[in-house]
C-alpha cells in the first residue's frame, strides 16, 4: 500500500513501514532485510526531506528496500541494476516480486557497459548506495547521463564505503584491511566485490566534475553497526558520534548535491 505524506516522515515512520514491507519478501531474505532497516531508513530520510514527490531512479539497488520504500512513500520509483548477484541467482524473480507489486519500475541493465536511457529532465532525484565501488570502469559517462536526466534543481545522492576510514588506518599496519576477500576474487567465477573504494576527496572531485550545488559530504558508520563481530558493534556504538566529526574517519561516506537550477 502506498502512503502519500503531507509532511516529511520521520526515520521512525520510515522504519515502521520498511518492517512491514519486509514481510512481502521470500522468507529466506527477510532476516537480512530486517537487519538493514536502520540503514535504509537513513537513506530514505536523505531523499524524502529533499524530494517530497516526483520520480527517483536508484542505481544498483538490487533487491534491497530502498526503491520499494521510496514507492511506498508516494514517489515514482525506478530501480536499475544488472541483477547478477548471488541473491538473484538463488531467488530469481521472487526477490523482486514485492517491488513490482507495489509499482516500482524495474530495469535490468549494466549501467557502466550500457548506460541509461532516461529522458532529459525526467528525474527529481538520482540515488546510488554501496554500488559504485563494485563497478569495474569509470562512472563518469554514466553520471553525466544521470545529470542530464535530472531536472534543474534535482538531487544527486551517492553513498559509498570509505577507503581510508579510521578502522583501516589502524589495522592496515597490522596487515588487515583488504577491500575484498580472497574467496570473492579467486574462487567465484565472476568477481563482484569492491574494485575501488573512494574517499572524501574523491567525492569532492565528483561533485566538482558534475558541477553540483549545495554539496554536502558527511559520514556514518553502518559497516561497524552491521558487523557480525559483537566487539566491533560495541565499539562502533561508543565511537560513532566522535567519528562523525570528520567524514574521512567514518566507514561510510555520502555525497549530496543539487543540479544547478531553480
Q: What is the pLDDT of residues 99-122, one digit of tens each?
A: 999 999 999 999 999 999 999 999
Residue numbers of the domain that contains 163: 11-258
Residue 3 in domain = no
Query: Is 1 part of a structural domain of the chain?
Result: no
Cα separation, 106 vs 120, in Å, equals 19
pLDDT higher than threshold 90 for residue 225: no
Q: What is the CATH number for 64?
A: 3.40.50.150
φ, ψ for residue 218 (rounded to 5)?
Answer: -150, 170
Tens digits of per-residue pLDDT, 7-25?
789 999 999 999 999 999 9
Return the number of other C-beta atoms located less than 10 Å from residue 179's C-beta.
Answer: 15
Domain assignment present for residue 131? The answer is: yes
pTM (predicted TM-score): 0.94
Any domain includes 5: no
Q: What is the pLDDT of residue 12?
A: 95
In a domain, 248, yes or no: yes
Q: How far apart (Å, rounded) are the C-alpha atoms in residues 136 and 19?
A: 33
In a domain, 103, yes or no: yes
Q: Please tell me the distance from the alpha carbon of residue 45 to that of residue 47, in angstroms, as a whole number.
A: 5
46 inside domain:
yes
C-alpha cell at 34: 530486517
Q: How many domains does the chain have?
A: 1
- pLDDT tier at 242 (50, 70, 90 boundaries)? very high
Closest C-alpha among 93, 96, 27, 110 to residue 64? 96
Q: Is the pLDDT confidence value at 6 over 60?
A: no
Q: Per the domain annotation, does 6 fall within a domain?
A: no
Amino acid at each position: 500500500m502506498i502512503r502519500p505524506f503531507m509532511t516529511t516522515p520521520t526515520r521512525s515512520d520510515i522504519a515502521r513501514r520498511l518492517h512491514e514491507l519486509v514481510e512481502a519478501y521470500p522468507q529466506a531474505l527477510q532476516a537480512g532485510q530486517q537487519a538493514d532497516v536502520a540503514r535504509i531508513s537513513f537513506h530514505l530520510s536523505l531523499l524524502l526531506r529533499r524530494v517530497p514527490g516526483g520520480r527517483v531512479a536508484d542505481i544498483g539497488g538490487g533487491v534491497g528496500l530502498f526503491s520499494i520504500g521510496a514507492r511506498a512513500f508516494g514517489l515514482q520509483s525506478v530501480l536499475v541494476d544488472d541483477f547478477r548477484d548471488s541473491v538473484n541467482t538463488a531467488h530469481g524473480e521472487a526477490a523482486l516480486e514485492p517491488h513490482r507489486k507495489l509499482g516500482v519500475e524495474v530495469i535490468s541493465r549494466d549501467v557502466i557497459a550500457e548506460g541509461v536511457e532516461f529522458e532529459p529532465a525526467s528525474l527529481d532525484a538520482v540515488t546510488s548506495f554501496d554500488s559504485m565501488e563494485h563497478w569495474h570502469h569509470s562512472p563518469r559517462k554514466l553520471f553525466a547521463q544521470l545529470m542530464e536526466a535530472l531536472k534543474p534543481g534535482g538531487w544527486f545522492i551517492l553513498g559509498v564505503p570509505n577507503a581510508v576510514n579510521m578502522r583501516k588506518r589502524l589495522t592496515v599496519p597490522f596487515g588487515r584491511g583488504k577491500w575484498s576477500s580472497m574467496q570473492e576474487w579467486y574462487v567465484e567465477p565472476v568477481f563482484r566485490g569492491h574494485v575501488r573504494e573512494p574517499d572524501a576527496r574523491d567525492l569532492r572531485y565528483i561533485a566538482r566534475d558534475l558541477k553540483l550545488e549545495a554539496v554536502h559530504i558527511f559520514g556514518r558508520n553502518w559497516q561497524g553497526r552491521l558487523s557480525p563481530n559483537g566487539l566491533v558493534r560495541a565499539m562502533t556504538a561508543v565511537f560513532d558520534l566522535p567519528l562523525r566529526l570528520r567524514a574521512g574517519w567514518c566507514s561510510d561516506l555520502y555525497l549530496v548535491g543539487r543540479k544547478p537550477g531553480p
